[in-house]
């Protein structure tokens, strides 16, 4: 009997099982997915809990899941219905599993593995089309914008939207600016943007509505079969480091040189 | 042994059944928008059902074969000419070295799947050959096909002709009833809004693609006071942005969504989304969760039985 089957067979009659547990809710997300929503404010503690729980559920449900997606306050399990019995993918089964697992989550190892990833950013009008209007809107000087944006260690709460795009928390309130009312058709890879209370980097060329205030020469998404190549993982921290236009150009050219050398092999 | 594209078509790309297990890194599933037609085409040429095919959208390509092999087309119906003679969907077609296959007028549906007996030489990344059109990886050079592109075919073979069972020959009439069930924020809509959504007729907007199908019709009102937190988004999810006009997430959709979700297309009906095109009309039918899953298992069983 697998661990999951043991949970399904468990005849838990206490009220926890019939009433929604106070700390989380489980909702259907279409007929092939369930989303666990935690009724807590976004915090490092909550992110830790979600990422640790993700790891445990991934093991327990194993090949019955196709994907399991962490977000700020939720965890979404997508089931491979061809491999699931009727019981495997019900909110009831998932609730039983979480109720048992949630107390003993190993958050320490995730904290230990968390890295601080430094990303060089050039804050210059030549590479940041919205920098001028951003300074005007926020009534800050360029120097202040750079200081406020490079000061915090931002927490990576989740990845999504585009391959390698990370959602960060910790942006200074003075840097809040709404998204553009009409998104730009093409934002270049490496562009560093701000949209309302969020900041992030476009890993690949894409349409986008954020205000672009800088650009990094670092390649955030290299398609390769090894997922270790992802620069940033959930619960890592990101810090932006200011570089000059000259350094930026040098780094971009250096990158091109090395990729040309690889091509030549 | 290869295929050469004399004309590329509007958006022709290599797709299989897509990737899984990488959504937490922002890598969406990609793959065929109509997964059923891809499987059927592969079956007709004796490939494994998950083999990469060419997904052909609205305007088809013209292809010169430098290989003798069996091929098949399923899904959208085009006038297809093989060396000038009409050939048809849903049955094995034998092509010889030097033959030309031309996709002409689109008769119904939106996406056709061309399967080739053998292996298309293309890039497998994160467990799938599918082209990720936005991040440019997988498939043929990570992009859609252009004029002059040449795809090599390994182990081509001519097999006995197979014909699909009548029950699997689908007609796309441009007027559909699509079934949906609950999603995370279904309760976020009051009963008037929900009823309005379920009883409206919508048209597919021309501004639709593999990322999402946009619907045109009566806007749905959302309760503005409640904040939505972004969370995992699955293909088929029906989101209501502030305009009130629904967007159905496609296989290239974002992995995280932030608009309220009124419902989700049931899994059994997902392949149909790949055949919707501008000005097609759709109506909705609400289905309970248990029934939604039953429809899927019945469908899966039926297809398995017919593809024996």
Nearest to B250 by CA among B281, B278, B208, B222: B208
Question: Among all chains, which residue has been given the structure tokens 């008037």?
Answer: B192
Confidence tier at B298 by pLDDT (50, 70, 90)? very high
Confidence tier at B170 by pLDDT (50, 70, 90)? confident
Counting residues of chain B whose pLDDT is more than 90, the rounded percentage is 88
C-alpha distances (whole Å) from A178 to each of A20, A141, B93 are: 36, 18, 55
Using CB atoms, which residue from A28, A71, A224 is nearest to B230? A71
User: What's the whole-number average pLDDT of chain B?
Assistant: 95
Domains of chain B, earliest start first = 2-168 (no CATH), 175-306 (2.40.100.10)
pLDDT of residue A263: 41
Instruction: Report the range of poorest mean pLDDT among A179-188, B67-76, B254-263.
Output: A179-188
Inter-chain contact B22–A35, Cβ cutoff 8 Å? no
- The pLDDT tens digits for B2-46 are 999 999 999 999 999 999 999 999 999 999 999 999 999 999 999
Interface test mutation site (partner A, options B132, B139, B184, B295, max chain A beta carbons within 10 A)? B184
Inter-chain contact A160–B254, Cβ cutoff 8 Å? yes
Mean pLDDT over B182-210 rounds to: 92
Q: How many residues does chain B have?
A: 308
DSSP collapsed to 3 states, chain B? CEEEEEECCCCCEEECCCCCCCHHHCCCCCCCCCHHHHHHHHHHCCCCCCCCEEEEECCCCEEEECCCEEEEEEEEEEEEEECCEEECCCECEEECCCCEEEEEEEEEEEEEEEEECCEECCECECCECCCECCCCECECCCCCCCCCCEEEEECCCCCCCCECCHHHCCCCCCEEEEEEECCCCHHHCCHHHHHHHHHCEEEECCCCCCCEEEEECCCCCCCCCCCCCCEECCCCEEECCCCCCCEEECCCCCCEECCCEEEEECHHHHHHHHHCCCCCEEEEEECCHHHHHHHHHHHHHHHHHHCC
Cα–Cα–Cα angle for A140, A141, A146, rounded to 5 degrees: 95
**Over chain A (265 residues), what is each successive 10-residue block's mean pLDDT?**
79 48 87 96 92 96 96 96 92 95 91 94 97 97 98 93 90 93 87 93 90 95 78 91 96 70 41
pLDDT of residue A13: 46
- Strands A198-201 and A191-195 turn out to be antiparallel
Inter-chain contact A160–B293, Cβ cutoff 8 Å? no
| Check whether domain A114-248 has CATH 2.60.40.3620, yes or no | no
Q: How many residues does chain A have?
A: 265
Inter-chain contact B267–A35, Cβ cutoff 8 Å? no
> Using a CB-CB distance cutoff of 8 angstroms, which residues of chain B are in contact with residue A230?
25
> Using a CB-CB distance cutoff of 8 angstroms, which residues of chain B are in contact with residue A72?
229-231
**Residue of chain A nearest B266, judged by CA positions:** A31
pLDDT of residue A20: 47
Assess contact for A198 and A167: CB atoms under 8 A: yes
pLDDT of residue B229: 79
> Using a CB-CB distance cutoff of 8 angstroms, which residues of chain B are in contact with residue A37?
184, 229, 231
Assess contact for A48 and A107: CB atoms under 8 A: yes
Domain boundaries, chain A: 3-111, 114-248
Q: Is the pLDDT of residue B58 over 50?
A: yes
Higher pLDDT, B298 or A234: B298
Inter-chain contact B132–A76, Cβ cutoff 8 Å? no
Q: How far is A230 from chain B (nearest CA, A)?
A: 8
pLDDT of residue A16: 46
ipTM for this prediction = 0.95
Hey, is the C-beta of B206 within 8 angstroms of any chain A C-beta?
A: no
Nearest to A74 by CA among B188, B29, B185: B185
Q: How far is B171 from chain A (nearest CA, A)?
A: 25
Of the CA atoms within 13 Å of residue A113, those in its CB half-sphere come to 13
Inter-chain contact A69–B23, Cβ cutoff 8 Å? yes
pLDDT of residue B85: 98
Inter-chain contact B237–A29, Cβ cutoff 8 Å? yes
Q: Is the dihedral of CA B217, B222, B228, B232 positive or negative?
A: negative
CA B185 to CA B260: how far, in whole Å? Answer: 6
Using CB atoms, which residue from B136, B137, B182 is nearest to A28? B182
Instruction: Report the range of poorest mean pLDDT among A251-255, B126-130, B266-270.
Output: A251-255
Hey, is the C-beta of B289 within 8 angstroms of any chain A C-beta?
A: yes
Give strand pairing partners of B91.
Answer: B163
pLDDT of residue A11: 66
Using CB atoms, which residue from A74, A166, A227 is nearest to B231? A74
pLDDT of residue A30: 97
**Could you tell me how many CB contacts below 8 A there are between chain A and chain B?**
147
pTM more than 0.80: yes
Q: Which fold has domain A3-111?
A: Gyrase A; domain 2 (3.30.1360)
Using CB atoms, which residue from B181, B231, B265 is nearest to A71? B231
Mean pLDDT over B275-280 rounds to: 98
């Amino acid at each position: 009997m697998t661990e999951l089957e043991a949970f399904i067979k468990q005849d838990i009659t206490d009220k926890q099982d019939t009433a929604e547990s106070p700390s989380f809710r489980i909702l259907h997300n279409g007929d092939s997915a369930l989303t666990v929503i935690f009724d807590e404010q976004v915090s490092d503690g909550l992110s830790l809990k979600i990422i640790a729980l993700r790891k445990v559920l991934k093991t327990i449900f194993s090949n019955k899941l196709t994907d399991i997606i962490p977000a700020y306050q939720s965890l979404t399990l997508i089931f491979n219905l061809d491999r699931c019995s009727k019981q495997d993918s019900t909110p009831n089964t998932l609730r039983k599993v979480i109720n048992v697992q949630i107390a003993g989550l190993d958050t320490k190892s995730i904290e230990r593995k968390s890295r601080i990833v430094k990303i060089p950013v050039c804050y210059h009008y030549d590479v940041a089309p919205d920098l001028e209007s951003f300074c005007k809107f926020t009534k800050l000087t360029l120097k202040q914008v750079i200081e406020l944006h490079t000061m915090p260690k931002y927490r990576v709460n989740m990845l999504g939207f585009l391959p390698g795009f990370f959602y960060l928390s910790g942006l200074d309130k003075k840097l809040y600016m709404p998204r553009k009312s009409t998104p730009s058709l093409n934002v270049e890879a490496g562009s560093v943007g701000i949209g309302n209370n969020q900041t992030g980097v476009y890993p690949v060329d894409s349409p986008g509505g954020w205000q672009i205030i800088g650009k990094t020469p670092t390649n955030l998404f290299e398609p390769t079969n090894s997922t270790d190549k992802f620069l940033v993982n959930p619960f890592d921290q990101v810090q932006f480091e200011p570089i000059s236009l000259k350094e930026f150009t040098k780094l971009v050219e250096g990158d091109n040189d090395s990729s040309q050398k690889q091509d030549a092999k | 042994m290869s295929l050469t594209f004399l004309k590329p078509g509007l958006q022709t790309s290599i797709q299989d059944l897509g990737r899984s297990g990488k959504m937490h890194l922002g890598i969406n599933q990609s793959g065929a928008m109509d997964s059923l037609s891809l499987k059927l085409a592969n079956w007709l040429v004796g490939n494994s059902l998950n083999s990469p095919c060419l997904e052909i959208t609205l305007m088809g390509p013209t292809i010169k074969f430098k290989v003798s092999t069996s091929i098949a087309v399923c899904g959208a119906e085009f006038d297809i000419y093989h060396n000038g003679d009409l050939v048809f969907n849903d049955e094995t077609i034998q092509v010889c070295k030097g033959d030309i296959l031309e996709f002409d007028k689109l008769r119904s549906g939106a996406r056709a799947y061309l399967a080739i007996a053998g292996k298309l030489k293309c890039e497998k990344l994160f467990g799938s050959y599918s082209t990720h059109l936005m991040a440019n990886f997988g498939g043929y050079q990570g992009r859609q096909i252009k004029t002059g592109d040449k795809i090599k075919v390994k182990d081509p073979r001519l097999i006995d002709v197979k014909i699909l069972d009548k029950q699997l020959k689908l007609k796309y009439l441009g007027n559909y009833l699509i079934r949906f069930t609950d999603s995370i924020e279904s309760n976020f809509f009051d009963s008037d809004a929900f009823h309005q959504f379920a009883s409206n007729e919508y048209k597919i907007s021309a501004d639709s693609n593999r990322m999402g199908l946009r619907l045109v019709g009566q806007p749905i009102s959302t309760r503005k006071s409640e904040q939505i937190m972004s969370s995992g988004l699955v293909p088929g999810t029906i989101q209501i942005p502030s305009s009130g006009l629904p967007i159905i997430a496609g296989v290239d959709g974002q992995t995280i969504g932030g608009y309220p979700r009124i419902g989700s297309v049931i899994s059994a009906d997902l392949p149909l989304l790949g055949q919707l095109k501008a000005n097609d009309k759709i109506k909705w039918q609400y289905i309970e969760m248990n029934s939604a899953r039953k429809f899927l298992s019945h469908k899966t069983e039926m297809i398995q039985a017919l593809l024996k």
